Structure 1
Amino acid sequence: MSRFVTRTLNWARPVLAVLACVAGLWTAAAWGWDKDKLSETASRYPPKTQAAVKAMIQMAERAATLPDERERLAMVNDFFNKRVAFKDDMEVWSQIDYWATPLEMLDKGAGDCEDYAIGKYMSLQAAGVPSAKLRMVYVRAQFQGRPQAHMVLAYYAQPESEPLILDNINPEVRPASQRSDLTPVFSFNGEGLWTGVGATSAGNPLVRLSIWRDLLAKAKAEGF
C-alpha cells in the first residue's frame, strides 16, 4: 500500500468532536446551488462573468446526468483547469491569503490552488456527488524541485477507499498512489476535519477552518 493511501486511511477519524462546535460549519445537508439566485448575483458582474457562470451551471447539470461519478469528476476538473488561469492571491486580490467563491474566481478568470479546489467541490456537489465523498486536502507538494504548500480535492468512492485526486498542477484525475509528489497533511469538508502527517506552511487547521466557514457563508449569499 502506498504511503499516501496509508495516511489518507488514517484520516477516517475526526480530530476532535469539539472542532465541529468551534468551527460552526458542519452540516449533513448536501450543497448545491440556487440557480436563480446565482444568476441574479452574476447579473451584477460584466457579461463575460455572467457567461462563465452560466457555463458552470450548464456544466454541472450535464455532469449530473452522467451515471459514473468518475466521469463527473473529469468533467468538473477539466472545466476549471481549462477556464481558470493560475495566479497567486497577491496578484489577483492584493492579499496574502484570499479564498474566492467560484463566482469570484470566474469573474477574475484566475485563482490559486484553494480556489480551484473550492470551485470543484461546490460544482461536484451541485452535480450530485455527496459531500461525504469529497475532501479539501492540504498537501506538501514537490513542485519544480522544491516542496510547497498546496491544496487538492480528493474523492473517496467509499470511506476506506483510495482517493482520486483533482488538481490544477496535474490536470489528470489520478489515484493518490500515482501522486507520489503529494504528501497529505490535513483535510476537511462540510462535515469534519481529518489529520494526516507531515508539515506544511498551510498553518493551523483551525485557522483554515475559520476561513472555510467564512467562504461558505459568502458562497451561500451568492446562491451556492
Structure 2
Amino acid sequence: MPASQVLTRESFVISEQTMRRMAQRFGTDARTRLLAWQNLIQTIEGSDRARLERVNRFLNTMQFVDDAIHWKQTDYWATPIEFVASNGGDCEDFAIAKFFTLIKLGIPEDRLTLTYVKALRLNQAHMVLTYYPTPGAEPLVLDNLVEAILPSSQRTDLLPVYSMNGSGLWLAKQRGKGQLVGGSDRLKRWNDLLDRMSDEMEQDKETTP
C-alpha cells in the first residue's frame, strides 16, 4: 500500500474520539500537542523548503526516548499520532512522522525516503528522512540529531545503508537513492505501521457524525 493512500491530502482533522483516546493513554497534554500539529498542517504555506523547515523544527521539539523505555518493546514504529501525542520516540519515529506530515502537506511521496544510516560519531544505527528536490538530485537530510537541514554531502557523520518509502526499498549507493532491490513489503514493521495508521483512520470515520 503506498504511504500516500494511508495519509491522503484531504483536510486534516483529528477526531474528538482520537483526542480523548490519546489523552487517556498519554495525559492531557497530548491534546495540546495534537492540536498544534493539526494547526501546523492546516495552515502551513510556502515553498517545499519552507515546509521542510517548519515540519522539521516542530517535530524535533519532541523528546528522544528509547523504544524499550517509551513503548516497552525492543523496536516499535509509532504512528505519527502516537509519536506527537506521547511527546517522543526514537529516530524512526521522528523520521516517520516527518515523512507522513510532508506527504499530507503535498510533498510527492517519490521525493521522500526513510534512510537508514550509521551515525559514525555515535557508532550506531540511525534513521533520517531524505528529500530529493528533483529525481537524481542530491538529497537534503532531515534529522532529529542536527537541527539544520543539510545536503547529504555535508553530513559526513552519516553513512547511508538503505532507504525506503511506500514504493520501494533501495540499497544505498554513496549518498543517492541507490539500487532498487525490492518492495517495502520486505519490511514487516513498515506494513504493520501502515495497517495501524489505516485502523486509526477507520476509527475516526466510525465516530464522525
TM category, shorter? 0.7 to 0.9
Task: Compute the TM-score of the two structures, normalised by the length of structure 1.
Answer: 0.77
Q: Distance in 1 between matches of 2:112 and 2:90?
A: 19
Q: Which of 176, 181, 184 does residue 157 from structure 2 map onto?
A: 181
Which residue is equivalent to 1:195?
Answer: 171
Which residue is equivalent to 1:157?
Answer: 133
Residues 36 and 70 (structure 1), Cα distance of their counterparts in 2 relative to 1, 3 Å cut: closer
Q: Name the aligned partner's letter for residue 194 of structure 1.
A: W
* Contact 1:141–1:183 (8 Å) recurs in 2: yes
Residues 207 and 90 (structure 1), Cα distance of their counterparts in 2 relative to 1, 3 Å cut: farther
How far is the alpha carbon of 1:206 from its aligned partner? 6.7
Residues 163 and 209 (structure 1), Cα distance of their counterparts in 2 relative to 1, 3 Å cut: same
The unaligned stretches of length 5 or more in structure 1 are 1-24, 199-204
Residues 103 and 27 (structure 1), Cα distance of their counterparts in 2 relative to 1, 3 Å cut: closer
Q: Distance in 2 between matches of 1:34 and 1:43?
A: 20
How far is the alpha carbon of 1:214 from its aligned partner? 0.7
* Contact 2:130–2:140 (8 Å) recurs in 1: yes
**Identity among equivalent pairs (%):** 39
Q: Distance in 2 between matches of 1:140 and 1:184?
A: 6
Task: Compute the TM-score of the two structures, normalised by the length of structure 2.
Answer: 0.82
Point out the structure with the larger strand share.
2
1:133 aligns with 2:97: no
Q: Distance in 2 between matches of 1:96 and 1:178?
A: 31
Q: Distance in 1 between matches of 2:185 and 2:120?
A: 24
How far is the alpha carbon of 1:43 from its aligned partner? 2.5
Q: Name the aligned partner's letter for residue 213 of structure 1.
A: N
Q: Name the aligned partner's letter for residue 60 of structure 1.
A: I
Q: Name the aligned partner's letter for residue 74 of structure 1.
A: E
Q: Which of 47, 67, 73 does residue 52 from structure 2 map onto?
A: 73
Bigger relative contact order (CA 8 A; separation at least 6): 1
Find the residue that maps to 1:43 and give its secondary structure. helix
The unaligned stretches of length 5 or more in structure 2 are 175-182, 203-209
Q: Which of 33, 55, 58 does residue 39 from structure 2 map onto?
A: 58
Residues 142 and 107 (structure 1), Cα distance of their counterparts in 2 relative to 1, 3 Å cut: same
1:214 aligns with 2:192: yes
Aligned residues: CA RMSD: 2.3
